Amino acid sequence: MQLERRRPALDAAGVGLVAVGIGTAESAARVAAHVGFDAARLLADPENVAYDALGLNAGVGATFFDPATPFAIRDRLATGTGGDLGAVLAKWLPGGDRGGGAVILPPKRAQAFNQGGLFVFDGAGASRFVHYDAATGAHGDLDAAVRAALAAAGSS
- Domain boundary assignment for the chain: 2-154
Amino acid symbol at 13? A
* Assessment of whether the complete model's pTM goes beyond 0.85: no
H or E element in which residue 4 lies: helix 2-5
User: DSSP labels for 47-74?
Assistant: T-HHHHHHT--BSHIIIIISTHHHHHHH
**How confident is the prediction along the chain (156 residues), in pLDDT tens digits per residue?**
677 888 899 999 999 989 998 888 888 888 888 878 899 999 999 999 999 999 998 888 777 787 887 787 787 778 766 555 565 566 554 444 445 455 566 778 788 888 889 999 998 889 999 999 988 778 889 999 999 999 999 854
